Amino acid sequence: TVQLRANGSFSGAASFTLPEIPRVIIVKTGRPVVSSEEIDGDSWFVQTHEFALFSQQSGTLEIPVFEVRFSHRNGFTGPSHDQTAQVPAVKIKVERPQGSSRDDFLVTTTSLKITESWDPQPEVTEQGAVFRRTITQTADNVTGMALAPPPGTVPKGIRIYLNRPQVTDRTERGDFIGIRSDTITYQMQQPGNWTLPAIRYQWWDPEKKEFGSQTLPAVTFQVKSTSTVKSELPVEKTRTLSYAWWGLLMMLLGIGYWQQRRIRSVLHQLRQRWNPSEKMAARALLSACHKNDPGAAESAWQQWERSQASGQRISEELKTAVQELQRTIYGAGQKADWQGQQLADAFREHLQRNNEVPQKNVQDLPVLNP
């Protein structure tokens, strides 16, 4: 217990710089109690702060001097004043209950409940499978930070991943309850039968003066090897198949070399069918308009125009847009100022209209010998 005294009302919350001591946890509990005292005829305001200490080491424990900062007024009104003080050092004798080992992680509480869950449940599995285990401890009058961590040792065929614990302290009807939840991930790395040993939790009940314990049972995993496909063909048969595939490959290469001209011709015809010059020129024109590049647009327009049959009619909007392009290139206009949106819109409209109307087969020359 730490008491702060001031000759006026307190302002704000006090701040303590708690010391760090190996194997010891100091936790501030509850809210401060405010009262008043008469000392030598003077009235003093008093704040009483309570702390809980949890130690895993026995013997004489020394808590060194630590700092506290708080604010108060002179009387009930007026500005507040910041003040810094030193909490004096203190020695505490910690006794370990008889029958416990110095290596045991011992919790002092009147009640400790432990539950566990698995996701998924342990079962026969294969290499690489992952299992998640959640262990939750709930204790009376103990902070969750002072509860025992889970063991980190596993058999060589299993790999373990310890997540950061979730620690919660809460007060219910005046009782202080600490909760610690640990999630442990196990990955099955090698085939075989692997057993996680049982986990024993032990605590000391200061009221009954006796030990309590709870054990989580051992868990065994049957891990199967990942199945691999192996060839069951005889060596001679496999070798024969390899020779046959090699001969077929050489025959195909020979035919390809012999008929390379015909193959090139067929590939060229397919390329022309899939990407006719008319469509390529149209895509190039729209791309140049999008980039506002008048030179590329003019070149694409001429290529597209050459791919059209004679007598092709274009709309006035498209004609005007093309003339604007040509004035920019060949006239006194600035090429950097040309915008291709107008030409692109007119060209798309022209293509859409021509696609909707069936085109007649245009012949430049009359049919001979009708």
End of a domain among 94, 117, 146? 94
Asked if residue 363 is part of any domain, the answer here is no
| Residue 340: Cβ-neighbour burial (10 angstroms; 0-12, 13-18, 19+) | buried
User: Residues 111, 220: one domain?
Assistant: yes
102 lies in a domain?
A: no
User: Do 290 and 323 fall into the same domain?
Assistant: yes
Q: Which residue has the tokens 């025992």?
A: 148
DSSP helix/strand/coil, 255: helix
**Confidence (pLDDT) at 369:** 58
Domain assignment of residue 281, yes or no: yes
**For residues 150 and 93, what is the distance between their CA atoms, to the nearest angstrom?**
28
Q: Specify whether 308 is located in the same domain as 339.
A: yes
Residues 111 and 209 in one domain: yes
Establish if 71 belongs to a structural domain.
Answer: yes
Give how far Cα 213 sits from Cα of 97, 152, 159, 197, Å: 14, 20, 28, 16
Q: Using one digit for the tens of pLDDT, what is the confidence trace for 283-323?
A: 888 998 988 888 888 888 888 887 776 666 778 888 888 88
Q: Where are the beta strands (DSSP E) in the chain?
A: 2-6, 10-16, 24-39, 42-55, 59-63, 66-73, 80-87, 90-94, 107-108, 112-119, 125-126, 130-140, 158-162, 166-172, 175-188, 192-196, 199-205, 210-216, 219-224
- If asked whether residues 72 and 136 sit together in one domain, one would say no
Sign of torsion over alpha carbons 52, 206, 101, 194:
negative
**β-sheet bridge partners, residue 363:** none
Q: Are residues 127 and 174 in the same domain?
A: yes
Residue 346 CA to residue 341 CA, distance in Å, equals 9
Residue 294: Cβ-neighbour burial (10 angstroms; 0-12, 13-18, 19+): buried
Judge whether 365 lies within some domain.
no
pTM summary value: 0.54
In a domain, 236, yes or no: no
Q: In this structure, are 47 and 133 located in the same domain?
A: no
Q: 255 and 158 share a domain?
A: no
| Domain's final residue, options 194, 224, 254 | 224
Residue 98 CB coordination number (10 Å): 6
3-state secondary structure of 197: coil
CA distances to 32, 82, 97 from 15, in Å: 12, 11, 35
Q: What is the mean pLDDT of residues 157-175?
A: 88
Summary mean pLDDT of the chain: 84
- pLDDT at site 357: 42
What DSSP state is assigned to residue 108?
E
- According to DSSP, the residues that pair with 107 across neighbouring strands are 203
26 and 132 in a single domain? The answer is no
| Domain edge (last residue) among 268, 303, 333 | 268
What pLDDT was estimated at residue 218? 95
Mean pLDDT of 14-29: 91
CA separation for the pair 357, 351 (Å, rounded): 10
Phi-psi region of 243 (alpha: psi -120 to 50; beta: other; left: phi over 0): alpha
Is the same domain home to 334 and 303?
yes
Q: Is the pLDDT of residue 356 over 60?
A: no
**Judgement on whether residues 251 and 282 belong to the same structural domain of the protein:** no
Number of folded domains in the chain?
4
In terms of domains, do 338 and 250 share one?
no
Residue 99 lies in a domain: no
**Mean pLDDT for the stretch of residues 128-153:** 93
> If you search the block for the tokens 């262990």, which residue do you land on?
135
Average pLDDT on 317-334 reads: 77
Within a domain: 52: yes
The pLDDT, as a whole number, for residue 309 is: 65
Q: For 58-86, what is the mean pLDDT? A: 91
CATH number (domain holding residue 135): 2.60.40
Q: For residue 218, give Cα distances in angstroms to 122, 195, 198.
A: 11, 7, 4
Greater model confidence, 299 or 66: 66
The domain containing residue 246 runs over which residues?
242-268
pLDDT confidence of 333, banded at 50, 70, 90? low
pLDDT at residue number 353 = 81
